Structure 1
Amino acid sequence: MTRLRLAILTTLTMITFAGNSLFCRMAMKETSIDAATFTSVRLLSGAAMLWMLMSLQRQSPLHHGSWRSASALFIYAATLSFAYRSIDTGAGALMLFGAVQATMLIAGFIAGERMTRIQTAGFVSAMVGLVILVSPGVEAPSVLDSILMLVSGIAWGVYSMLGRGQANPAAATAGNFLRAAPMTVALSLLALPWLRLDAQGVLYAVLSGAVTSALGYVLWYRVIQHMQAITASTVQLSAPVIAAIGGILMLGEVFTRNLLLSSVLTLGGILLALRSGKTEL
């Protein structure tokens, strides 16, 4: 894969990740749908989309993926939805991707990967940018919400690491979503007393599952084959910045100097990490 193509696919993937945050935030904050239903509709919609794509290619998705990856996917999606019911969006994004960072950096370190000085500078720059992004008006989240968001980030980091080395990323993603389907149905049954349906919330969940999750994760499984864990973890720090920009365009949020500074520091730090990181082209 050429460097340009890798950069384009990575950018598209980060946009889908940001889209997931936006859809979840809009559903939990602006509609009455409950978190369990949102999670179930999201994962079931993703499973249906991927099953359809695999059927067109005459592939059996259950021959790919794993129960470990499916479990990590389910835990990530469920805890994210419940955490975003009340947690401040900026603080949640920082905790989520901070946990992803820590998980993938530890995994990379165990695998023998080490940061160069330039990569370290890029990582620090990106983290400072995120701190600036979420600092204004951040309210201290509850302990439970904080734990849920951290667990979500750890689960996503594990899912990303398990996805490296997959020969067929699309089929592996489809297999993982299909395996996660009974888990999310069980969650909805347990949460049945708190069921709250909302048409707009369901629409957000379908878009999150079928588009930004299903298709986005196929792209992520593909690009991560060509990155070190350290580089892959740093790249994901762009998602909160993109989500913040999306909030401005879609939710009418205010563009601030802090957002501009945060974007420059975060995206600049990622550029340093990518330019000095070793990628398989």
Structure 2
Amino acid sequence: MASATPLSRIALTFYTLVALIAFAANSVFSRLALSNEQAVPLIDPSSFTAIRLASGALMLALLMVLTSAKKRSTQDLATENRATKHTLPTQAHGSYLAAALLFVYAIGFSYAYVLLDTATGALVLFAAVQISMMFISYLKGHRLNVLEIVGALVAFAGFGYLVWPSLSLGSETLSITGLVLMAISGCAWGGYTLLGKGTANPLFATGYNFIRTLPLVLLMLASVWLLSMLMPVDPMQSESAGLAFHLSTQGIVLAILSGALASGVGYALWYQALRGLSANHAAVLQLSVPVIAAVGGVIFVGEQISVHLIICTSIVLFGIALVILAKTKHKL
């Protein structure tokens, strides 16, 4: 099979920058749609998740069709098919486990953003992804060196400082429920990322994984509908907003933007960028996502960035940067 054409520096920079902005945009879109600070949220978390995954699946399916059509026009199609005949079903087409983790990530993400602001949610999500991937690597036999241990401890200390005010008596500055949901979401995304590592065709793997989430989406919607019938709730109550359907035109548009553009196109561009990035460079670049999301929260959602959050973000990202640096040195 002919090797892929190397990316130019301009193309690599463009793909990377747009993809990172798309990742942060997911947090902004979700917070705009799901914020409980509005009289009535624009959309409920389950509907947002369903529309996001469905529109993402549709966009990725379109990209797969266009990619397949482009491949058919090349003269080495037969050679490529022979080279990938044995790897395509298990690698390029993803897996049901990966789809399940993708669904857990998406549903936890949506419900968490009912309770967390944009910057905090992005920080917790990103840190949980990195920490879970490091933990899974440890379970697989990767022994942590001193710098990795120090980095992990620093990151956990940053988390501790983040949640400490909320654990104090009488303090409700941060939702512990939201933190737990976003941490679960991040761990699921970390597992999903590791499952997709080294796939023969990441675009097709992601596309089929999105499509495989659709039965879970239908099951989720049926469960929410059943719960709303058995336990009628007031949609004005933020803690119960996820147990009743609520749709608005703005909410639907934001969910489509999150799914089709920030997730579908964003993931496709990120996979293009990964052709020219090492794993460590990719990890370092993702350190910018919580910062971009925080800026987006200030500009588009009107949120305030506290000194406490800035300090927490700096501590957590510094700890994760130490872990990434340790991995880089270990490979040299």
**TM-score, length of structure 1 as denominator length:** 0.78
Cα distance, 1:267–1:154 mapped onto 2, change above 3 Å: closer
1:1-281 matched pairs, under 5 angstroms: 9-29=15-35, 30=38, 31-58=41-68, 64-114=93-143, 139-143=173-177, 145-192=178-225, 193=228, 194-221=244-271, 223=274, 226-227=278-279, 236-254=286-304, 277-278=327-328
User: Do 2:127 and 2:320's aligned partners in 1 also have CA atoms closer than 8 Å?
Assistant: no
Q: Unpaired segments of 5 or more residues in structure 1?
A: none
Residues in 1 aligned to 2:316 and 2:176: alpha-carbon distance in whole angstroms? 27
Q: SS at the partner of 1:167? A: coil
User: Do 2:31 and 2:117's aligned partners in 1 also have CA atoms closer than 8 Å?
Assistant: no
User: Do 1:104 and 1:233's aligned partners in 2 also have CA atoms closer than 8 Å?
Assistant: no
- AA partner of residue 247 (structure 1): G
What is the CA deviation profile of residues 226-256 of structure 1, one whole-angstrom value per residue up to 9, with x for unaligned ones?
416xx76665443222211111222233456
Residues in 1 aligned to 2:250 and 2:324: alpha-carbon distance in whole angstroms? 38
Residues in 2 aligned to 1:41 and 1:25: alpha-carbon distance in whole angstroms? 15
Residues in 2 aligned to 1:249 and 1:57: alpha-carbon distance in whole angstroms? 36
Q: Unpaired segments of 5 or more residues in structure 2?
A: 1-5, 72-87, 167-171, 229-243
Cα distance, 1:175–1:18 mapped onto 2, change above 3 Å: same
Residues in 2 aligned to 1:122 and 1:18: alpha-carbon distance in whole angstroms? 24
Cα distance, 1:268–1:6 mapped onto 2, change above 3 Å: farther
- State the aligned residue count: 277
User: Do 1:100 and 1:233's aligned partners in 2 also have CA atoms closer than 8 Å?
Assistant: no
What is the CA deviation profile of residues 150-193 of structure 1, one whole-angstrom value per residue up to 9, with x for unaligned ones?
32122111111111011111111111111112221222233234
Residues in 2 aligned to 1:126 and 1:184: alpha-carbon distance in whole angstroms? 34
- AA partner of residue 138 (structure 2): F
**TM-score, length of structure 2 as denominator length:** 0.67
RMSD of the alignment, in Å?
3.9
Deviation at 1:123, TM superposition (A): 5.8
Cα distance, 1:44–1:211 mapped onto 2, change above 3 Å: same
User: Do 2:284 and 2:321's aligned partners in 1 also have CA atoms closer than 8 Å?
Assistant: no
Larger Rg: 2
Residues in 1 aligned to 2:297 and 2:180: alpha-carbon distance in whole angstroms? 25
Residues in 2 aligned to 1:33 and 1:75: alpha-carbon distance in whole angstroms? 19
Q: SS at the partner of 1:58? A: helix
Q: SS at the partner of 2:217? A: helix
Deviation at 1:258, TM superposition (A): 5.7
User: Do 1:129 and 1:265's aligned partners in 2 also have CA atoms closer than 8 Å?
Assistant: yes
User: Do 1:132 and 1:259's aligned partners in 2 also have CA atoms closer than 8 Å?
Assistant: no
User: Do 2:119 and 2:297's aligned partners in 1 also have CA atoms closer than 8 Å?
Assistant: no
User: Do 1:94 and 1:130's aligned partners in 2 also have CA atoms closer than 8 Å?
Assistant: no
